[in-house]
Structure 1
């Protein structure tokens, strides 16, 4: 394997970072939740920058509509319906073979997060829903880990760096700062909004990881590229003393079973995800064989998932028991299909 000593030389010549900062990056471990538009941009930047250990978790697979903005993926990934975590790892290993890249095909909930945060220095938000972000928020405060929130839709983007014990948490912000209600399903999205959000997220990440917290923005940043609007907001006043996540008497409400969702309508997709209430592990080959014998639809499989086409609906089954029901946003209808074939 060929190693080039000047790989990070241009970065090290940036005086605030230097060689010492680069060494700190090499010794850092970052968890990226979500490998969609935000996640792929984040993880590619951190990989190219030499962050030594990257862990990616994502529940979905690559589709053609992803290629417009999810920069790690190719047409071949979409043709093969590769899980995003797998496709991202393959591409990242071709970009930087000198770092450690772990990838997990999973829907991240409390148990999964508790495992993933072990040994991590920073959590990056690459998700598309507030249910998962509020889980991240609770776990980050429980384990005293910084995390960097980011979101985008249309031409609008927003980001904020959350430091447990110092800044307001996401739960605080939801009560005082309008974070928007549109999704990429209702408003679409342009890739430049993604890139602007992740530029801020990864710049803040490098400040933290290289040992320069004094350089952090300490403000919530929002913008609209189409309208040429740019705002930075001081949100220190939003911190609530009685916040159940970051206040004096913390209960971490989003870690309790009563707040866990088992079904999600996926952002930008005519799709419902159904997640079993208890852990289960499917033999995908056996599942594909069983569905094929029904003679009710077209079955296609790869080592990571099974696709089952039923007229206007398509079900995609993962080894952890999750099923994506494409062709509907109606949760009862999706559940009916799920129970018909999976009990």
Structure 2
């Protein structure tokens, strides 16, 4: 299929030389949900040489509304998303080298993988993993593309170590709420908008058209017809512990990550955030009730029914996840509810 990428090669900023570069590159994609599956498909169709996909989850019926690689058959088989993505992507272009990793992205895994990676794409669903990606990016001088979407709101930013502010800098300038798709919902067109920004930036980086890379932070609301870009050059901080003059890469320190512990004899996992929170439990309870969850509470805790599990959330952000001894599952449930 020698003409597979002919239309892409006709696009002057890519051309045959750019196509050759795309074919020689390795992208690490973290997450294979809505953003991840769409990013993976675009990159595969574009002719990426190697694609490594990390995801800890399996395909559920609620995914099919927006996660474009998956089918009802995947749901019935409860296929891990990374495996289901590999199956579909291999059918699209069998010449692309795809490595699916079924697991939770952690510090050790990422540090082992990034040796020959050219670009990292964020398609995860929580800021703890994103901050870890950010420090990996800065430590190993790898570009990465941040993307997030919830409801009808989406955003994206391209981070080039040594040139742009990092995500740690960005969070000081643009406070971000802990909303998730499980608590605020999401619509498909929003996913596609974020994907368009992420994959366009990815192609620019892969063909090494650095002058074309967008250095502004873009955000939009596809339902309310809002679109904005913000120049972020002044957000870069010399004192930033991730990208400043004396970086310590704090998010590669295991002490700054969510802690999980199986409670002896109770089929329960305790999840504790890296830093003590000060949750307003009454507001949290009302929000979750409004979203349709079965919620009970008192001045000391909020109890939430979550499918086959029950969460008991305390003021300090600590939670007990009843009905499981699986640490990864408990952590995922916690992040779905509390962001």
In the TM superposition, what is the alpha-carbon distance from 1:329 to its structure 2 partner? Answer: 3.4
Would you say the 8 A contact 2:218–2:228 is kept in 1?
A: yes
In the TM superposition, what is the alpha-carbon distance from 1:326 to its structure 2 partner? Answer: 4.5
In the TM superposition, what is the alpha-carbon distance from 1:333 to its structure 2 partner? Answer: 3.8
User: SS at the partner of 2:148?
Assistant: strand
- Runs of 4 or more, structure 1, over 4 Å off, are 272-275
In the TM superposition, what is the alpha-carbon distance from 1:335 to its structure 2 partner? Answer: 5.9
Q: Which moved more, 1:173-182 or 1:214-223?
A: 173-182
Pairing 1:328–2:310 present: yes
Q: Which residue of 1 aligns with 2:20?
A: 23
Partners of 1:60 and 1:33 in 2: how far apart? 12
**Of 158, 166, 170, which aligns to 1:161?**
158
Would you say the 8 A contact 2:149–2:155 is kept in 1?
A: yes
In the TM superposition, what is the alpha-carbon distance from 1:121 to its structure 2 partner? Answer: 0.1
Q: Which residue of 2 aligns with 1:90?
A: 87
Partners of 1:52 and 1:328 in 2: how far apart? 44
Pairing 1:240–2:227 present: no
**Of 227, 230, 237, which aligns to 1:230?**
227
Would you say the 8 A contact 2:82–2:102 is kept in 1?
A: yes
Would you say the 8 A contact 2:310–2:323 is kept in 1?
A: no
Pairing 1:41–2:38 present: yes
Matches within 5 A, 1:59-208: 59-208=56-205
Pairing 1:338–2:325 present: yes
TM-score of the superposed pair, with normalisation by structure 1: 0.79
Partners of 2:247 and 2:260 in 1: how far apart? 27
Partners of 1:197 and 1:144 in 2: how far apart? 24
Partners of 2:185 and 2:65 in 1: how far apart? 11
Q: Which residue of 2 aligns with 1:294?
A: none
Cα 1:94/1:28, change in 2 over 3 Å:
same
Q: Any stretches of 5+ residues in structure 1 without a counterpart?
A: 265-271, 276-323
Would you say the 8 A contact 1:325–1:334 is kept in 2?
A: no
Q: Which residue of 2 aligns with 1:209?
A: 206
User: SS at the partner of 2:57?
Assistant: coil
Cα 1:43/1:143, change in 2 over 3 Å:
same
* Corresponding residue pairs, total: 282
In the TM superposition, what is the alpha-carbon distance from 1:115 to its structure 2 partner? Answer: 1.4
Partners of 1:152 and 1:186 in 2: how far apart? 13
Q: Which residue of 1 aligns with 2:290?
A: none
Matches within 5 A, 1:238-317: 238-263=235-260
Residues 314-339 of structure 1 deviation map (CA, whole Å, 9 limit, x = unaligned): xxxxxxxxxx9943333754267428
Cα 1:93/1:224, change in 2 over 3 Å:
same
Would you say the 8 A contact 2:59–2:81 is kept in 1?
A: yes
Would you say the 8 A contact 2:166–2:243 is kept in 1?
A: yes
Give the alignment's Cα RMSD to 1 decimal: 2.1
Cα 1:17/1:122, change in 2 over 3 Å:
same
User: SS at the partner of 1:232?
Assistant: strand
TM-score of the superposed pair, with normalisation by structure 2: 0.79
Cα 1:187/1:159, change in 2 over 3 Å:
same
Would you say the 8 A contact 1:41–1:71 is kept in 2?
A: yes
Would you say the 8 A contact 2:61–2:72 is kept in 1?
A: yes
Q: Any stretches of 5+ residues in structure 2 without a counterpart?
A: 262-267, 272-305, 313-317, 327-339
